[in-house]
């Protein structure tokens, strides 16, 4: 809002400045018969108060017109200087430079993840993505939150995530994933529709507050729909029924030095010699200490605790379990 006001004042100052020059030039031409060059020359030296000599000796009419031009220009240029100075002092000028710098960085990204909304769920998603060293762009509309993120050096776009132009600024055309964690299911629905329309290959994950919104979001194109409240209740019940299992699963993160971590290994990212070979040939346990606990086939079927004889096909993913240092070894080797 403040930025818009400053821009409006600057545009007015520029408009008034152009107007006073135009009036001066036309006045000297129409009323006093000056040529275009002479009229422009007289106007510039008059409003700039440089004080060179007149092109022609002044009559009474020319003197009165010039006096009016000087007085008008003083007010207008005073307003222009005041507006620009206030714009600089307010920090808006430097803020705009920072915004352009951020935009340039975003334009260089490819395969990044866009997170819409920096609320409770958005923060958790971003924290996890940062732990996995993923490139993230946040879309947030509130000034204070954007300012805090800017201070942390986080790539942030300020705007309404439901609008095409906002997602385009966030790099939706080259994004690999989008997470919409807005508090309103209706807004999340608009984001899903917009994102899929702009980039149908982008994986979209949406938050939902109501069960009735689940099917709507799926129909709109969301690849996954998460209901935090439902998951939270189920999680608490599971802590009663199978507490040790849940405690163990809760430790399967990338955070901390004593936790167990889960990691995906894309078959396409492995050295070519491992394609169409078996899990046994990969020998992850011996090379890294990690254990293969799952395999996703190219057809997106999941095999839990796969046999060592399972063939590694292009387009598949291995799911492995290991301690932090073992996961780091895995990343370094493969």
Residues 110-135 pLDDT 10s: 999 999 999 999 999 998 898 888 99
Mean pLDDT across 227-252: 82
Distance CA 199, CA 326 (A): 36
Sequence-distant contacts of 122-126: CB under 8 A, at least 24 apart: 122/179, 122/181, 125/179, 125/181, 126/154
Instruction: Report which of residues 177 and 52 the model is more confident about.
Output: 177
Same-domain check for residues 113 and 214: yes
Q: What is the CATH number of the domain that holds 52?
A: 1.10.287.70
Nearest Cα neighbor of 320 from 269, 270, 252 is 252
Work out whether the CA dihedral 252, 254, 256, 261 comes out positive or negative.
positive
Burial grade of 212 (CB within 10 A; 0-12, 13-18, 19 or more): exposed
Same-domain check for residues 63 and 117: no
For position 1, what pLDDT does the model report?
47
Whether 245 maps to a domain, the answer reads no
For position 52, what pLDDT does the model report?
63
Please tell me the least confidently modeled range out of 93-97, 192-196, 278-282. Answer: 93-97
**Band of the pLDDT at 51, cuts 50, 70, 90?**
low
Residue 50 tokens read as 């440089």
Same-domain check for residues 19 and 127: no
Start-to-end CA span in the chain (Å)? 50
Instruction: Report which of residues 104 and 88 the model is more confident about.
Output: 104
The domain boundary residue, chosen from 89, 121, 143: 89
For position 39, what pLDDT does the model report?
87
**Bridge pairing between strands 291-296 and 302-304:** antiparallel
Instruction: Report which of residues 28 and 198 the model is more confident about.
Output: 198
Instruction: Report which of residues 184 and 67 the model is more confident about.
Output: 184
For position 73, what pLDDT does the model report?
83
pLDDT digits (tens, 9 = 90+) for 69-80: 888 888 887 777
Mean pLDDT across 185-205: 96
Same-domain check for residues 216 and 255: no
Whether 104 maps to a domain, the answer reads no
Nearest Cα neighbor of 122 from 87, 100, 146 is 146
For position 230, what pLDDT does the model report?
83
Whether 242 maps to a domain, the answer reads no
Same-domain check for residues 114 and 195: yes
Whether 15 maps to a domain, the answer reads yes
Instruction: Report which of residues 14 and 220 the model is more confident about.
Output: 220
Q: Which of 27-31, 131-135, 192-196 has the highest mean pLDDT?
A: 192-196
pLDDT at residue 255 above 60? no
For position 90, what pLDDT does the model report?
58
Q: What is the CATH number of the domain that holds 292?
A: 3.30.70.1450
Instruction: Report which of residues 23 and 87 the model is more confident about.
Output: 23
Same-domain check for residues 255 and 227: no
Calculate the average pLDDT of the chain. Answer: 87
For position 87, what pLDDT does the model report?
65
Burial grade of 7 (CB within 10 A; 0-12, 13-18, 19 or more): middle
pLDDT at residue 2 above 50? no
> 317 near 301, Cβ under 8 Å?
no
List alpha helices for 164-272, DSSP H.
164-169, 185-198, 211-220, 228-241, 243-250
> Can you give the residue range of the structural domain that contains 36?
2-89
User: How many structural domains does the chain have?
Assistant: 3
Distance CA 230, CA 212 (A): 13
Same-domain check for residues 309 and 263: yes
Question: Helix, strand, or coil here: 314?
Answer: coil
Whether 169 maps to a domain, the answer reads yes
Same-domain check for residues 17 and 82: yes
Q: Max CA-CA distance within the chain?
A: 105
Whether 100 maps to a domain, the answer reads no
Same-domain check for residues 119 and 75: no
Same-domain check for residues 226 and 137: yes
Same-domain check for residues 116 and 209: yes
pLDDT at residue 169 above 50? yes
Distance CA 120, CA 15 (A): 46
For position 236, what pLDDT does the model report?
84
Whether 243 maps to a domain, the answer reads no
Q: What is the CATH number of the domain that holds 119?
A: 3.40.50.720
Mean pLDDT across 197-203: 96
Whether 221 maps to a domain, the answer reads yes
Same-domain check for residues 114 and 180: yes
Please tell me the least confidently modeled range out of 28-37, 144-153, 203-212, 248-257. Answer: 248-257
């Amino acid at each position: 809002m403040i930025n818009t006001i400053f821009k409006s004042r600057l545009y007015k100052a520029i408009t008034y400045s152009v107007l006073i020059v135009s009036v001066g030039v036309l006045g000297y031409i129409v009323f006093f018969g000056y040529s275009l060059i002479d009229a422009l020359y007289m106007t510039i030296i008059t409003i700039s108060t440089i004080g060179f000599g007149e092109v022609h000796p002044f009559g009474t009419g020319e003197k009165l017109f010039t006096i009016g031009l000087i007085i008008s220009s003083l007010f207008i240029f005073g307003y222009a200087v005041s507006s620009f100075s206030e714009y600089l002092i307010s920090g808006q000028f430097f803020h705009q430079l920072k915004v352009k710098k951020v935009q340039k960085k975003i334009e260089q990204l490819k395969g990044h993840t866009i997170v819409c909304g920096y609320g409770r769920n958005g923060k958790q998603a971003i924290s996890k993505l940062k732990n996995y060293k993923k490139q993230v762009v946040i879309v947030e509309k509130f000034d204070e939150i954007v300012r805090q993120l800017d201070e942390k050096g986080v790539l942030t776009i300020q705007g309404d995530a439901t609008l095409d132009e906002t997602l385009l600024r966030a790099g939706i055309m080259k994004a690999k994933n989008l997470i919409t964690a807005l508090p309103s299911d209706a807004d999340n629905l608009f984001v899903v529709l917009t994102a899929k329309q702009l980039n149908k290959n982008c994986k979209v994950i949406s938050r939902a507050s109501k069960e009735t919104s689940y099917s709507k979001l799926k129909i709109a194109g969301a690849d996954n729909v998460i209901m935090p409240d439902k998951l939270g209740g189920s999680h608490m019940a599971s802590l009663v029924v199978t507490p040790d299992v849940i405690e163990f699963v809760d430790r399967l993160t990338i955070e901390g030095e004593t936790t167990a971590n889960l990691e995906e290994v894309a078959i396409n990212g492995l050295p070519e010699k491992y394609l169409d070979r078996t899990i046994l040939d990969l020998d992850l346990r011996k090379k890294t200490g990690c254990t293969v606990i799952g395999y996703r086939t190219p057809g997106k079927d999941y095999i839990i605790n796969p046999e060592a004889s399972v063939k590694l096909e292009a387009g598949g993913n291995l799911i492995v379990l290991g301690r932090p240092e073992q996961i780091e070894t895995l990343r370094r080797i493969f």
